[in-house]
Amino acid sequence: MEQYILKSSDIIREMKQTIKAKRESSTKHCEPEVAQVLRKKANSLYSSRKLTEALSLYTQSLRVSSENSEDANLAFGNRSAVNFHLKEFKLSLKDIDNVLESNTAPPALLKKLLLRKARCLDSIECDGQEVLQTCEEIERLSREQTIPTLSTSERELLDNLKSSGTATSQEDDITVYQTAHPSLPSASSVLEMKHSRTKGRYLQVKVDTPSGSVLICEQPYVMVLLPQYWDTHCYHCLQLVHTVPVFCRSSSCKVKYCSVKCKTQSYNYHQFECKDLNTIVDTGIGHLACSVITHTGYKTLLSKYACSYRTTL
C-alpha cells in the first residue's frame, strides 16, 4: 500500500510539472512592432474604403498582438468599425464585446465602442431594451467622467436611439411554448416518461405541440472540432468564426475562436492539449478521450479512482 501511495504521489508530481511546462511552452509569440505596422496599413486601407483588405490586415495584427494589450484593443475596435461599414453588425458586436470584456479599453476608445454598439443593436433585430440599456450606460459613464464628455451630435444620436429602443421594447414579448420538465432538466414539460414491455422506457408528448417546437435540448459533456473545420469554426462553441476570428495563445496552434469569451473558457482544457494537438488528433477517437480527461480534471479522476480502489479493498 505504501508503495502504491508513493507511486501515486510521483504521478501527480509529474503531471503538475507537465502542466507547468505546457503553460510555459504555449505562450503566444507576440510582435508589437509588427502588429502596429499591420494596423497602420489597415488604417490606410480603411480610409481609402478598401474594407475587405483592411479587415484582413486587422486580423493579422491581432495574431501578433498580446492579449488585452493596446494593440489588441485597437485592432478589435478598428475591425469592428470595418464590419459596421460592411453592415455586418453582429460581427461588429463580437469585436466590440471582445474589447469590453477585457476591461482595458482607454476612455476615448470605450466611448467610441459603446456608441457603435448601440448603433449595431439598433440595426439588428434585437430586444429594444438592449439599446436603451446601452444608451443609459453611455450617459452614466459620461456623467461619471469615466469616458469623455458627449458632444451635441452624440447626444442627439443617443436620443434617437432611445426613441427607437422604446418603440421596439413596447412590442409584445414572444411567448415561450415549453417550460423545463420537473424531473428531466433537458426536456420540455410537454413530455412524459412511459414504459412498456416492448419499447422499454420512452418519452411521449402529452399535448398537441406546434410543429418546430424544441422538446429536448442538451449540452454534450465534451465535444471536439475536426481539424478540417479549425479555420472556419470556433474550437469551443463550434459556431462559425466568419471574418472576426480570435486566435489561440500559441502562435503554432491553428485553432480559432469566435470570441475572447470562448477562448478564455476553452483554456481550462485546451492548455493541456495545445502543444501536442496534432498528435492527439492523429489518434482518432483518442482526441475525444483526451477531451474527457482534460474537461474532468486529473484531480477529479484520481479521487474517483481512489474511491473505487478503497471500495474494492
Which residues 6+ apart lie within 8 Å of 185 measured at CB? none
For 271, what's the count of Cα atoms within 13 Å in the CB-facing half-sphere?
14
Q: Which three cell numbers stand for residue 84?
A: 459596421
Q: Say what the pLDDT of residue 300 is.
A: 80
Q: How far apart are CA 6 and CA 15, in angstroms?
A: 14
Q: How far apart are CA 110 and CA 114, in angstroms?
A: 6
Q: How far apart are CA 166 and CA 242, in angstroms?
A: 31
SS3 72: helix
Q: Model-level pTM?
A: 0.66
pLDDT tens, residue order, the chain (313 aa): 444 444 445 555 665 566 555 555 444 557 889 999 999 999 999 999 999 999 999 999 999 998 889 999 999 999 999 999 999 999 999 999 999 998 899 999 999 999 999 999 998 877 678 889 999 999 999 999 999 999 999 999 998 888 876 555 444 432 334 577 777 777 888 888 888 888 898 888 888 888 878 888 878 888 999 999 999 999 999 998 888 899 998 888 999 999 888 999 998 889 889 888 989 999 888 899 888 888 887 778 777 655 554 444 4
CA angle 234, 237, 243 (to 5 degrees): 30
Q: Say what the pLDDT of residue 73 is.
A: 93
Q: Say what the pLDDT of residue 302 is.
A: 76
Q: Say what the pLDDT of residue 173 is.
A: 37
Bridge partners (DSSP) listed for residue 201: 195
CA angle 273, 278, 279 (to 5 degrees): 85
CA angle 27, 31, 37 (to 5 degrees): 150
DSSP, res 146:
S
Residue 200, Cβ density class (10 Å: 0-12 exposed, 13-18 middle, ≥19 buried): exposed
Q: Which residue, 79, 65, 70, 66, is CA-closest to 34?
A: 65
Residue 164 and residue 135 in contact, taking contact as beta carbons nearer than 8 Å? no
Q: Say what the pLDDT of residue 169 is.
A: 45
Instruction: Go through the domains of the chain in sequence order and give each one's CATH number.
Output: 32-169 (1.25.40.10), 179-207 (no CATH), 227-312 (no CATH)
Residue 122 and residue 131 in contact, taking contact as beta carbons nearer than 8 Å? yes
Q: How far apart are CA 161 and CA 193, in angstroms?
A: 49
Q: Say what the pLDDT of residue 32 is.
A: 86
SS3 194: strand
Q: Say what the pLDDT of residue 61 is.
A: 94
SS3 13: helix
SS3 205: strand
Bridge partners (DSSP) listed for residue 196: 200
Q: How far apart are CA 299 and CA 312, in angstroms?
A: 20
Q: What is the DSSP string of 263-282?
A: HHHHHHHHHHHSTTHHHHHH
